[in-house]
């Protein structure tokens, strides 16, 4: 481990709780989102703690089957979460299409990164494949979610399929485009920051971050595009309103 690595004891993480608690209080008082955020925060803590122990075991096992199983689980969950803005009936109907968009677009870009850019000795190296797959599937999930929510909103306003599709794709790309403009000037993104904190060469960290930014652009943007083209009309009924 690098001499520059900053180790974080569990108890120090409690310093990050007061801002979250304060926000939950305001959300309870001003909106109806306090309970969802509280639940999401508790779930996040439990999930990350659990996955930490699971990854230790998977890294030790070094078997392609466990890595493939982890990727399958990640994509399966991402497909369902991507459809949260839609009514439950729509989610069940569109889940297969959302999952296919994530697997095909995200999986394709992930393959380019692993076999074309990084070329590790073994594709199933969990330390490489699982973190990258997490970024790819999460990015695709978020892009589809943004696109679906905006598409439904535009159709409910009376917009045509083609008009709603254009607005939805544009809206889904805003976070990515903003990130491209801000990177290096306003923020140092997650992977780059983590590598620098771990003592890596900043120029090497930059190369990794460029790879990640283009990876997220390709996987998320293409997943949203594919979903709008393939499943957009199914997000609403024949009159253009969500059931």
SS (HEC) of the chain: CCCCCCCCCHHHHHHHHHHHHHHHHHHHHHCCCHHHHHHHHHHHHHHHHHHHHHHHHHHHHCCHHHHHHHHHHHHHHHHHHCCCCCCHHHHHHHHHHHHHHHHHHHHHHHHHHHHHHHCCCCCCCHHHHHHHHHHHHHHHHHHHHHHHHHHHHHHHCCCCHHHHHHHHHHHHHHHHHHHHHHECCCECCHHHHHHHHCCCCHHHHHHHHHHHHHHHHHHHHHHHHHHHHHHHHHHCCCCCCCC
Of 163, 148, 170, the C-alpha closest to 230 is: 148
pLDDT tens per residue, range 167-221: 999 999 999 999 889 887 777 777 777 777 777 788 888 898 899 999 999 999 9
Q: What is the pLDDT of residue 6?
A: 67
pLDDT tens per residue, range 117-171: 999 998 989 889 999 999 999 999 999 999 999 999 999 898 998 999 999 999 9
Neighbours of 103 (CB within 10 A): 20
pLDDT tens per residue, range 86-119: 878 788 889 999 999 999 999 999 999 999 999 9
Whether 221 and 227 have beta carbons less than 8 Å apart is answered as no
pTM: 0.80
């Amino acid at each position: 481990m690098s001499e520059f690595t900053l180790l974080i004891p569990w108890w120090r993480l409690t310093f990050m709780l007061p801002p979250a608690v304060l926000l939950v209080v305001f959300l309870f008082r001003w909106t109806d989102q306090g309970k969802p955020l509280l639940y999401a925060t508790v779930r996040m803590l439990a999930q990350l703690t659990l996955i930490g122990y699971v990854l230790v075991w998977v890294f030790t096992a070094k078997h392609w089957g466990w890595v493939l199983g982890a990727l399958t689980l990640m994509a399966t969950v991402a497909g369902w979460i991507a459809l949260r803005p839609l009514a439950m009936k729509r989610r069940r109907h569109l889940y297969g299409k959302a999952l296919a968009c994530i697997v095909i677009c995200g999986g394709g870009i992930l393959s380019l990164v692993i076999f074309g850019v990084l070329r590790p000795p073994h594709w199933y190296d969990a330390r490489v494949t699982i973190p990258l797959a997490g970024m790819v599937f999460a990015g695709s999930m978020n892009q589809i979610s943004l696109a679906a929510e905006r598409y439904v909103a535009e159709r409910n306003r009376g917009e045509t399929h083609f008009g709603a599709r254009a607005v939805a794709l544009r809206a889904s790309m805003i976070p990515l485009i903003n990130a491209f403009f801000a990177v290096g000037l306003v923020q140092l993104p997650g992977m780059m920051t983590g590598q620098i904190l771990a003592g890596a060469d900043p120029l090497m960290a930059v190369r990794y971050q460029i790879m990640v930014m283009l990876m997220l652009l390709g996987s998320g943007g293409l997943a949203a595009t594919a979903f709008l083209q393939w499943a957009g009309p199914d997000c609403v009924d024949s009159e253009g309103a969500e059931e």
